[in-house]
Structure formats: structure tokens, C-alpha cells
Amino acid sequence: MGEGTAKNIILTGFSYTGKTKVGQEVARRLGRRYVDTDEEIVRHSGKPIPEIFAQDGESRFRELERETLEKVCREKEVVVSTGGGAFIAEANRDLMLAGGVVVCLEAKPSTIYKRLLKDAEESPEQEVRPLLAGPDPLKRIEELKRFRQPFYALSDWTVHTDNLTVEEAAEEVIRGWSYGGSEKRERVPLPSMPDGKESDAPYCQEQGAACVVTTVTESYPVFVGWGLLDQLGRRMRNAGLQGRVYIVSDDRVFPLHGDRVKKVLEEAGFAVDSFAVPNGERSKSFETAVSIYDWLVKHRVERSDSIVALGGGVVGDLAGFAASTFLRGLPLVQVPTSLVGMVDSAIGGKVGINHPEGKNLIGAFYQPRLVIADIHTLTTLPRRELVSGWAEVIKHAMIRDPHLLRLLEERSQQLLGLEAEVTTEVIARSAAIKARIVSEDEKERGIRTILNYGHTIAHGLEAATRYGRLLHGEAVAIGMMGAARISQLLGLLSQDVVGRQRDILGRFDLSVTCSDVDVAGILQALELDKKVRGEKVRWVLLADIGQTVIRDDVPQEVVEGVIRELLLCETH
């Protein structure tokens, strides 16, 4: 056993997954002291847990839980069982992941419900756990478990206890402890902002997780790191996915990474099949979506099966659209292999296909179950595609994070060269910015609109060129320059900031002009833009770095004049 196996073993997971009995057995086998945090809370407070909830409220219980965790996580070589909700709070996760190897005990809702009923029959005098009380315990279990699952997925190891004896589960915990302890990594904090605070984006890089997206409908982790493809099967199991897996990729990405992903998934116990579409934006069509439907029908796909989107933004949008509509929704896992996908399109649940008259006019909001971004896959990208992706990172810096902008300015050459440490840091930070915004506004009814900075003109350019000339990031870079110039002409933005944006785009080899495009074609596409409301285009503009403004009163002559500048049109 490696050095990591000297660490504590900390069990997390939903109620009735077996944490107490399994923890006691693990402690017995290893000759270690066993600690149950719920028992410690009862001992120190002098009250049973239901009484704490009833008299003092859940918030007081969580305070006691945090205090107990702080104490037990400082100990050495103990086995700890924690309450089902302990791992949800980020502060608790930090304590637990730093204090030992965290093993999640997993079970299906039906298994948990049966164990709950059996426990009630065998111990009728014992009160039911407060969070499981109510008229429909099974439904409550399903709801709570669905919410908690993405947080449990951040554990170092998962053991499914449905069909295991206590002894078998204990053996699996010890195996996970041996494995998880050897690969454990410290949390890598974000650089401080000028005021000493971290970015407002959620960031929790335990075992590669950059952030957690939590919306009204879903909650899921985003993993960012080097070499994470090898963790895909385990992470999917941790997220509760158990059916067959159908990989949707394209004919350029799949030959590079498809065999490896299939092998990783098969080693995790999944049956796997795959489908590759032609590379490029033209595949985001209804015809291609129908070909995916036909493939899924042929394989008799069921609702318990999952779709893995392996590729760039096109594959993510297309596979996500198919997942959102086939059988009224299949579990979706995003595995972006492009920079645009890692920091933007794979996060937030926007899926869709193009219409000849406009980009992404047909689509839905459909959140994935998890996102895994293996930065090493970027080394296989053609340089043009890699450069294109930096436009979205620069966009996030311009609209939200002055510190990220400075980091991009200072480390541009290392980032273009994909130096591992700084690239991981920057991509994780950019992804976390996107995650925070979409967590606040899932359906783009408020703050999420600011993510469209530069996209109004960009989508017009793409539509006017029939999606065959410009990469998405190239169009966004030009669109950002257009939005900055409009901001300047309206008196919102200084010339210095406009120049700074132009300079950073240039450092990443992104052009801010384009020739031989029909102005009328772009203007026509703007009228069909998704951000149009009340027949007015809603422009995302800048007042300063990190300060956005939404305007729907931009004069048409200003828009047309700026577009002509971008297209290098002669004016008379």
C-alpha cells in the first residue's frame, strides 16, 4: 500500500446505503477507531438528531455537523461515517477531502426505500430520519438523491452496495482507499483578485472538479484536468449512471479518442456503441439529428441508457439535442475535446441545431449529468481550432473577470503552447465563470444574456457565410470587436479598453476583421437572432472590463457602420 493509505477513510452517501455497518467492518479489519459523526453530534449536544431538527432547526444541526467534522478530520487513521447531507456543503467537502480518502456508498432509491421499511419494522420505537419523513418516502428519496448525486460524484471512490454483503462492501471500500489514497491531489486555489478575494465563480478543484452547476432543474459537476478521460467510467458510475452508453462523436475526433473512451467505459462495466457524424458546423442540422435518432431506434435504446457527447461544440450541441428529445430525454454526459466546448458550450445545458436562416434556432435547455474536460485532448487540435477557442476565454474575462484578463495578457505564449499548469488554471477559471452565471440563470431570462457578448454579430457572420468559412471562435472575436466599437460609439466604453481588447485578441492570433462578406446578409441574420425581443435586437455591450450593459436602442446606422468597419468595406 502507498503512502496515501495512511489517511483516514471517510464514508459519505445517502441514508441507508450502509455507512454505519460498513464503516464498523472496515475499522475492524484495519484495526482502526470508528467514528460516526451523527453519534458524536448526539453525544455532544445531549439530544437525538430528530430533536435537534425539531427544536433548533436544520441550520443548527449543520453547524454541529461542521464542528464535528473539523474535529474528526484532524485525527489520524480513523474510519469515519458521515451524515447523508454532510458532503453537500463545500466547506465540509474541503474538510473531508483534505482529511482522508472519501468513499461514497451508493444504492438505488428502491433499495434505500426497502432498507428504510425494514428498519422501521425491526425498530418501531426508533424515529424515522427527519429528511426521509413524509407521506411518500420513496418520492422524497428520489428527489433528494437526484439533487445530491452530483456532489457525491466528487468523492474519490464509489461502492454500489445494492447487492453486496457488509463484508463485500467493506472489501470494496478498502480497495478504493488503497487506490484513491495513491492518486489524491491537493486542492489548487484560484489566484486572488486585487481585493484579496477569489473570483465569484464556484471553484472546487478536488480531484479535478472545477465547479458545480446548480440550477432549478439539475446539479452536476464540471471536471477539468489533464488526463481525465481515464476517469470517465468511474465518474459516470459515481453519478449513478448504469445503463448502456452510446457515444456520439465526429469523424475527426473519434479516431483520435474513441477507442480509448470505449475501453475506459467497458472497463467500468458499460456496454458501449458509437456513432460518428461528419466534422464541422454543417452537421448541426435536422438531417443529421434524424440519422442519430435512426441509430438509437435501431439499437433499441432505453431511458436508462446514456449518451456521451465526445467532441467539440458541434458534437455537444447535436448530441445534446438528440439526448433531450429522444424518448423525451436520455441522460447526457458532455466530454468536450475543444476549448470552446470546455469553457462554454458543454456547460449550461444549451443544446440545438441550426436552421439555414440562423444558428441554434432549434434547440432546448437540457442539462448534462456531468462534464469531463480532459485538457490533454487539446494537444490533438489543429492550431486554428485551438486559437479559435481562446476567444470564449477572452470573452469571459472581458465580461466578468479583470484578473483573468491580466492572466491571459501575461501568460499568452504559455497558454498558446498549452503549458499544463497555467492552462488548467485558466480553463478551470473560465469554466467556473460560465458555471456561476448559468447557475443563477438557467433559461437566459437575466444575467445569462451577458454570455452573448460578441455573439450577435458572430452569429450573423456565421449565417451569412453558411457556417462554412469561419470557426465559431473566429466569428466571436470579430463580434466582440464589433460590440466594443458600438459601446464606444454610444459613449459607454473608453478607447483604452477597446484597444486593450483588440490587443489581447491579437496576442492569441485572432483576427478582428473579415472581408468578402455581404453586409445585407449579416443584417438579415441579426433580425432572426435569438436575442431579439419585441422586434428589437438586445445588444450585450461593455461599460468597462467586467461591467456589461444590455441595450435594445442601438441605432441601425451605428450597427451598419460598425459592421462595415469589421468587413473592411469602403465608405463614401
Give the residue numbers marked as catalytic: 328, 350, 392, 434, 444, 448, 452, 455, 459, 472
Residues 436, 450 contacting (CB under 8 angstroms): no
DSSP string, 18-68: SHHHHHHHHHHHHT-EEEEHHHHHHHHHTS-HHHHHHHH-HHHHHHHHHHH
Cα gap 522→526, rounded to integer Å: 6
The residues pairing with 209 across neighbouring beta strands, listed in sequence order, are 223
Question: Which residue type does 456 have?
Answer: T
Distances (CA, A) of 442 to 235, 348, 446, 512, 547: 24, 7, 9, 30, 20
Residues 283, 254 contacting (CB under 8 angstroms): no
Cα gap 369→218, rounded to integer Å: 8
Count of CB atoms within 10 A of residue 449's CB?
Answer: 17
Residues 53, 61 contacting (CB under 8 angstroms): yes
Cα gap 234→532, rounded to integer Å: 42
The three cell numbers of residue 158 are: 464509489
Question: Could you write out the three-class secondary structure of 124-193?
Answer: CCCCCCHHHCCCCHHHHHHHHHHHHHHHHCCCCEEEECCCCCHHHHHHHHHHHHHHHHHHCCCCCCCCCC
**Closest Cα partner for 354 from 307, 401, 284, 302?**
284
Assign 307 to helix, strand or coil. strand
Cα gap 210→90, rounded to integer Å: 12
Measured in residues, the chain has a length of 572
Residues 274, 315 contacting (CB under 8 angstroms): no
